[in-house]
A and B are shown apart, each in its own frame.
Chain A
Amino acid sequence: MTTLFFAKTARPALALLGLGVGLAGCQSDIAAPTASPGSLDFTSYVAVGNSLTSGYTDGGLFNDGQATSYPALLAQQFAKTGKGPASFVQPAFSSAKKDGSGYIKLQVVNNALAPVQPTAANSYLGEQVARTGAVLPGGDQLEAYSGAQPDNLGVPGISVLSSVSALTGGLVPYGVINPFYERLLTPAEKPTKDYVTYIGQKAPTFFTCWMGNNDVLAYAAAGGVVAPTNPFGGLTDTTRFGIGYRAILTTMTKNGTVKGAVANIPNVTSVPYFNTVTVAAVLASYKAAGLPISNIYVQALNAAGTATAARVATATDLLTLTAQAYIAGHPGVGTSPTNAIPSDYVLDPVEATNVTNRTTQLNAIIAKTALRFKLPVVDANSFLTGVANAGVYTNGVNNTATFASGNFFGLDGVHPSPRGYAIIANEWIRVINAYYGSTIPTVNANDYRGVLLP
């Protein structure tokens, strides 16, 4: 303090001699914080995961979304330590088909904002999609990726169960089912190469792994209905999850020699997908249309866990975001026991409890396995519960789990927006810094878009 004081005292006297301009030109500088990798080496950073890792947002995978995926942002920030990757390869679509699978846009429909899916009928909303016209069991086939094996290995839809073909007896090769995985493989690899083998081809110096969401999400998103044709549509059992998860971490750590970080499974029932269309809102809209009803009927399990043809819906029945379009397309659905909202659009309390309990069990396996491989865990479960409860502030802006206006989640109601992914990247950085003693700088999440309005 004293030295500061005396250091400055000489200046006004100089200023009086007409030298004030020189002084006025000097900026009040704040020393830059150091960006250090600590003991980490990011020369080859590889990200393993599902849609959340791929940068999937607004119900699609496309080049702009990939560019703001959390692994892309991590690679960018890792590079600021001077030990970062020179490049981070993503499985981008060709520039003429940059919109990939296509993505949902908000549009004004019947004087209300609605998320609109790109379909052949609406010319894919004018997007430059990369659909080939062929159809795989998991959706429309996409333009093949022909570049070097990506560093972002995120595959939308993949679960721990579908990553290791031995877990399903090699009977359902994922490379011929999932269009996002199929496009990464050569024709010869498609029927044979499972995901754990595919990611084992990389030789990372650092990796991140965020797997397991689809081991509970597929069940939840379909309202607890498991399609008989989909071997990966249920809740993955703990035995096979544990085997699969260990296999993935064994592969990525090269038997415990490569450093990295993992994230656990968020509570999927807190995302806008299950909290935007409510029973009360559906009832209110029918009443507003003049229907003299006092209840909404759904096909769902009763409290005893028994399937019912129809019962009165309560506030604890979570309707899916897709129920909005279904109800709009089926006027009167839900107004009587004979015309109840189908089970696919309802996550009832029994199903929700199943999802939550299984998530807790799988997260215990993730924690235990990570400990064994000496990897820090990003507690995405509690972080996203915090977002759902109170939102997360970024430089004066609160980003919440409210659909569209909350800006954290994109328009599919499940996946974060680019802003949300940037916030998640910061959480990864926080955990990595805390565990490894590095000082990787975070990103300004507000530089990435939330939801764009028409």
Chain B
Amino acid sequence: MQVKSLLLAGGALLVASSGAQASGFQVGLTGAKNVGMGGTGTGLYLDQASQFFNPGAFAFAPTGFQVGGNMAIPRISFRPAGADQGQRTLQNTNVFPFSGFVGFGPKEGKWRIGAGVYTPFGSELHYQQGWEGRYSLTDINLRSVFGQVTAAYAITPQFSVGGGVTTLLYGDVDLQRDIPVQAQGSAAPTHAQLTGTADHKVGYNIGVMFKPSDKLSAGLSYRSAVDAHVGDGDVKLTGLPASAAGSFTATKFDVTLPLPDVYSFGVGVRPNDRLTLAFDANLVGWSRYQSLNFTYTNGVLGGNAASSSKRQYEDALAFRLGGQYKFGENFTLRAGTFYDMACVRDGFVTPETPDAARIGVTAGFSYEFAKRFGLDASFLFEDFMKRSQSQDDLISNGTADRVAGTYKTTIAVPGVQLYVKF
């Protein structure tokens, strides 16, 4: 009931999730059919979402229009190492990643052109009031919307290529934490909020598909890295003691968040007309993200004109397996699973991305309720490995700006998508 009303309310369609379905703060919730099949898609040509997974495969995809949304329901728990005053949980907020694509081209032709918007990165977390990590982070809301235009061409009936130009259409960040400076007569420390919107940045994706027969297809794709840059963000401080004002004069900040590139390989197998099986492997270039550096303008924050916090992410692999089975003309069932490795090293876990290796299971169905019109539904559940770090780990890594303790995350994501075939 709750799910339904929230989805219908869907005005809050701007992105974000808590790293649902992919390492780091990636959001792997593009295309409900793909989500239902464990996030596979590089070796498939199911629908318009091919533009995102493999623009090469787009040449073989049917033309049409589709739009869908998800509700990501994260559940993150934290227990501090040592000072245990009970488990801390998120002030649970649900977030709504979405995607929409349109594709045109001759029905049996060799080319396709298309466009889409989707939300590949984001994170929104609001930790419990007064939690142990309040001086690292109390709240984060990181949102991004990408747009893409795509062209694909089947050079032969067996081989196609495609490419897209991607743009960071909209991105914003809202980071909040407490600062260990407290005024006389005040029960709470100073609180800092950094907000800003990102510059528009252009990237690309390319892909090829090889389809020796109707029973087998294989694809390779690459999506470029993009640096999300906030050049003129606002610094807002509350509860700052007057005598400390001289150390907190900054009003603006500049930060760059490197977003990774992704290499994907996928295979699709169709033993018969009803059954499709798919396998995908992704290599996500998170190692670009070595540190989070803020530069403050018009003054200093905590006496410093800049700050740097170690991230040292590692490239992460993900393996995905999915399948669909078509019952009759109108109904298709899907299932999938994936294993996604952590990009955050041991002893580097931060509250804004409590990353861990994770296993996901997915399911979905499609129902074509009228000629050319249909609905795709998906459900994803993922279970993060419990992840702990000690204060000694943090000190030896030089990462004591975050908290020692144990994180445990699960995420459930129902999603729905409508499509029309041209």
Interface residues of A (CB under 8 A from B): 4-5, 8-9, 11-13, 15-16, 20-21, 23-24, 26-30, 32-33, 35, 105-106, 108, 113, 393, 395-398, 407, 426, 441-447, 449-454
Distance between A294 CB and nearest chain B CB, rounded to angstroms: 30
* B183 interface residue (CB < 8 Å to A): yes
Number of residues on chain B facing chain A (CB within 8 A):
63
* B400 interface residue (CB < 8 Å to A): yes
Distance between B161 CB and nearest chain A CB, rounded to angstroms: 35
Distance between B295 CB and nearest chain A CB, rounded to angstroms: 21
Q: Which of A20, A113, A426, A450 has the most CB of B within 10 A?
A: A20
**B243 contacts which chain A residues (CB < 8 A)?**
106, 108, 113, 453-454
A interface SS class: mixed
Please determine whether B183 and A407 come into contact, CB atoms closer than 8 angstroms: no
Please determine whether B412 and A398 come into contact, CB atoms closer than 8 angstroms: no
* B379 interface residue (CB < 8 Å to A): yes
Please determine whether A16 and B379 come into contact, CB atoms closer than 8 angstroms: yes
A-B contact number at CB 8 A: 143
CA distance A106 to B181 in the complex (A): 13
Question: Contacting B409 at CB < 8 Å: which of A21, A28, A444, A452?
Answer: A28
- 9 interchain pairs (CB within 8 A)? A8-B361, A16-B363, A23-B412, A27-B77, A113-B243, A395-B135, A447-B130, A450-B182, A452-B182
Q: With A12-B361, A446-B134, A454-B241 as given contacts, are A20 and B414 in contact (CB-CB < 8 Å)?
A: yes
Please determine whether B241 and A453 come into contact, CB atoms closer than 8 angstroms: yes
Distance between B409 CB and nearest chain A CB, rounded to angstroms: 6
Please determine whether A396 and B136 come into contact, CB atoms closer than 8 angstroms: yes
Question: Contacting A444 at CB < 8 Å: which of B80, B401, B410?
Answer: B80
**B406 contacts which chain A residues (CB < 8 A)?**
30
Quick one: closest A residue to B241, CB to CB?
A453
**A27 contacts which chain B residues (CB < 8 A)?**
75, 77, 89
Please determine whether A30 and B181 come into contact, CB atoms closer than 8 angstroms: no
- Residues from 317 to 342 in B contacting A, C-beta threshold 8 Å: 335, 337
Q: Which of A13, A29, A30 has the most CB of B within 10 A?
A: A30
Distance between A123 CB and nearest chain B CB, rounded to angstroms: 17
Please determine whether B132 and A11 come into contact, CB atoms closer than 8 angstroms: no
* B191 interface residue (CB < 8 Å to A): no
CA distance A93 to B134 in the complex (A): 34
**A12 contacts which chain B residues (CB < 8 A)?**
335, 361-363, 379-381
* B255 interface residue (CB < 8 Å to A): no
**A450 contacts which chain B residues (CB < 8 A)?**
180, 182
**B394 contacts which chain A residues (CB < 8 A)?**
393
- Residues from 88 to 137 in B contacting A, C-beta threshold 8 Å: 89, 130, 132-136
CA distance A408 to B406 in the complex (A): 26
Question: Contacting B132 at CB < 8 Å: which of A5, A106, A395?
Answer: A395
Quick one: closest B residue to A398, CB to CB?
B400
